[in-house]
Each structure stands twice: as C-alpha cells, then as structure tokens.
Chain A
Amino acid sequence: MDWMYMWMPIAGVNIFWPGLVLIGFSVGVIGGFFGMGGAWMVTPGLNILGFPMAFAIGTDIAHIAGKSMISTIRHSKFGNVDYKLGVIMIIGTVFGIEIGAQLVMWLESIGKVGPVVRWVYVFVLLLIATMVFVDYWKAVRKKKAGIVGEHGAEGITWYKTLHRIKIPPVMHFKVSGITCSAWLPIMVSFLTGILAGFLGIGGGLLRMPALVYLIGCPTHIAVGTDLFEVMISGLYGTFTFGAKGRIEIWAVFVMLCGAAIGAQIGTVATKYAKGYGIRVAFGLAVLACMVSIILKQFKFDISATVLILSAVGLICLYICVIMFKGAAEELREKRMEKSAA
C-alpha cells in the first residue's frame, strides 16, 4: 500500500494522498455551495492525516485560494458574482481586519486572548445560526400568508431599512439588483472584517449572511460574491504564509485536484437549490462549527474533530444529492422536449 502514501518534501512527512483528495473534494463541494473558504473544516482533517500544525494552516489557505478561484469562475458564468460590490467591500474588509488584529494584540498583551476569542466566536456563530433559523421560520409564515416578493417569500428584511439611508454616494449594483449608499457595503465589510481579524478566520462565514441580511443580495449572488473576496484574500494569504515557509505546495496541488471536481458540484448545485435551502444548510454547518468550538474549549478535542468531519461528510452528501437529482431532472426534461419536437 506504499503507493497510497506521498512524500511531502518540505514538511518531511509521508501523507495518505487519497485523504488529501477527499478533503479537497468535500471542502470544494461545501465552499462552492455556501460561498466560504472553509478553513475550519480543513485544518482538523489535515491534522488527522499527520500534517504538522505549522504547515496545516498555510497549506489550507493556499488550497482555499485555488479552490475559490475554481468556484468563482463557475459562479461568474452563472452571473452570481457582483464584482463591483466585491471590490468595494474589499476596502472595508482590509481596514476592519487591521483593527480586529490590533484588538487581538491588545488582548494578547493582557493575557486573555484564548478564552475571549473562543467565546466571542461561539457567540457570533450562535447569533448567525439563530438569525438563519428565525429568518426561515418567518419566511415560511409569510409564504403561508401569501406574502411573496420578486424572488419568493423572505423572512428577515433588515436590508430594506438600511437601503433607506441614502448617504452619498448612492450606487446601483446591477448584478445584485440593489441600490444603496456605497457606505453600506463598506461599513458592513468593515464590521465583518473586524470580527474576522479578531477571530483569526477568513471571514466567509460572516460575510455570506451579512451580504444577504444587511446588504440585500439574493442568496446565490451572496455566495458568488463572497467567493470572489475569499479568492483575493486567499491569494494574499498564500503569499504571506509561503514567505513564512508554512506551505507544503505538493499537498496543495493534490488537494486542488479533488477540490476542482468538488467545487464544480457545489457550485452547480446552487442552480438547483432554493435560496432558503442554502441558508438552512449553512445554518446547520454554523451550528456544527459552534458545537465543535465549545467541545475544544472543554478539551474534548477528539469529539470536536469527529463532529466536524461528520458534519462535513453529511453536508457534502446533501449537496451532492441536490446536484445529481437536479441535473438528472434537467436532462430528462431536455430529452422530453427534444422527443416532443
């Protein structure tokens, strides 16, 4: 079985390469569907495969950059990427991350960084999950009451209130179909940037719901636009971690082979999923992430890893089912149309 192990010359370890392909595939599927990098899923997997921690994070970021590029290309062809909005949001994200990082440094100086960051992370994830499920519950009620908008029933519509604040310059984002003050996306990305910098995460987990609930992007466009941002920040992360010697480049190549297939499946699955299908599955993923952090906080490291990997497996399976069922139905309809003609 030696052929199943690959020598990683930089990290100096033998790695079970099908495991890398599988991790790349799963995160490709989930990332393409939810519009996030998914670092919280990859790092435990790389650790299990025997990657030294020093290389796990950098390798993970480089893989996320490549994977997001694949998903962005696909989402872009569907018309799911609002580049104008994405570029504007980068401004806020950059300044936000800097302030978040400074906050962490201050906490470090008073020796309270570990528990504070973890509990803030848990609180933010709980807030996102609650928001997603309350939104779903409200949307179901509205649908039953017959209150349906352009894209179907909507639960939480905070963005409508925020759109009324017309501080110049007011901009129109054609792809998202929204008109608002340019300060709205800048401020939202600034706040999510602070949180991302503070929590030490990429920020996709925070930006995707923020794009939906605060800026008013349709879910599909929020997913595509967020991936565009993840791609840019991921490429810069690749450079910084590469220059610090924390990337095992061969592992990135192997993982990308799996991610390339996974990202296509995840992205195409959004075509067959309703916005709320994506939101609810996202909420469940956030819940799994939250419980795993609580378990880690109480030193149940193995249980946390098992939970994360089980959640990744199940969500990945759910997305694959959506994609294959949807594609089969579409092809069947096309065949029927052809035979009728």
Chain B
Amino acid sequence: MATATKRSKAEKSLVILLLIVGGVLVSLPFLWMISSSFKPENEVLAIPPTIIPDNPTIENYINLFTSMNFTVYLRNTIIIVLFSFLGLLFNAMAGYGFAKYEFKGRERIFYLVLATMMIPGQVTMIPVYLILNSMGLTNTMTGIILPGLAVAFSIFLFRQFMMTIPDDLIEAARLDGAGEFYIFFRLIIPIAKPIFAVQGILTFIAGWNSFLWPLIIANDESLYTLSVGLSLLQGQYANNFALQMAGAAFMVVPIIIIFAFFQKYIVEGFTMSGIK
C-alpha cells in the first residue's frame, strides 16, 4: 500500500509537470502578446528581445483610440453582440416550439433545421451575399447582423433541454390562465437558465469575434468591427508590432476574463448536450 501511494504521488507530479510544460507552450503566444503590448515601439524590435518590458508604457493602448478608430469598432462590435442575443432568444423560442408543441409538419421542419447544420459555409456565402445585395442590404448594419441571428445548432441544444421540462408544469400554468408567451418568459426561461448560460457565453464569444461577414458586407469604415479594424491595423502599421499586440490584447483579454469566470458552464454544457 505504501509503495502504491508513493508511486501514484510520483505519477501525479509527473502529470502536473507535463501539464505545466504543455500549458506554457500553449500560452506562450498570449504571454508574448501581453508583454510586447506594453513595450515602446523601439524596444519591441530589439534583439535580443526583453521578456519583461524595460520601459513599460500604456501608450500603445491609447494609440488604438487616438490614431485608430477603435471607439467606432468597439461600438459596432457591441451592437452586433446585443443583436446576437436577440437571435439567441429566437433560437430558444424555436427550441421550445419544437420541444413542447404538437403541430403539423413539426418533424419535417425540424429535420430541415438539422440539415442546414451540415452545409459548409462556403456554399451559402456567395448566395447569401447575392440575396442581401438584391434586398439592398450590403454595406448596412442590418446586412451584417441578419444572416447570423438563427443558429441551427443552438435551436437543437435548446430543444434537447426543453424536452426535459415536464408537460404537467406547462399544463398547470395554462389551467391557471397564463398565456403562451407569459408561460415562455416567466416559467420556461427561468427553468432553462443553465442552457441559456452556455448559449449566452458562446453567443457573446461568436459576436465579439465576428469577422468574415462584416468584412464581406461592410465597405465603410464606420461599419467595421473590432476584428476588421484589427486586420486594418495590421496592414497599416505592419512593422509596429507593439501597437498590433495592444490591439490583439484588447480583443482577446475580455474573452479570456469572461471565459475564466464561466468555464464551468461551458464544460457542463457539452456534457448536457449529450456528446459523450
């Protein structure tokens, strides 16, 4: 017994050591980004590079807002994130509709929703652009937001969760005279809080990171998102790595903070969705 615990203790130390080595390798790009973002422009090109900045400065972060239009990009990104939460509500409503109502064509429509998950993005990209173009929505905020609102995978996850809510509960609320939408907003949403948490985080991350569609649709800089702005910065200040790193950190750090707080929900969410 004593040798067994000794062996497992050594083994555990080895596992942790491996995790640390791997963890440092994986997070090296992030650490380098943070460190470089606080370096003045000349220090960032110094050879050999300094690991911790000699003359730390927050000038790069200020420059994002003074020499670049990061205020505008941030505003647009927040608009997209807010509307994607409206999309989240639509997906939840659809999930509830498929889970808790009997109606004509339910199976067929649901299979259609599932089928859209299998289509590669490249196939729909061009037609969606053509459709938006014929609606006169290219180079508008609406055109950026609209195609991303409904997400088939999200509808599917909501439906799976809502199926577990007992019918009796809804029936009882109906007998008390509650309307269908009242039931959804006051009864179902509070019960479905865990799935809303997962989907909410994933929606936030997707909205915050949205890049390709805004790039395709937006011609005016006033419609650019943070990622599009950052790629513009990369082109304009190709050799100012300190400024580039500050821009990247400005995009990445909020996501990391939010994720650090809510990672428990994301992991649980995958277990919930039954992927085992």
Partners in one complex: no
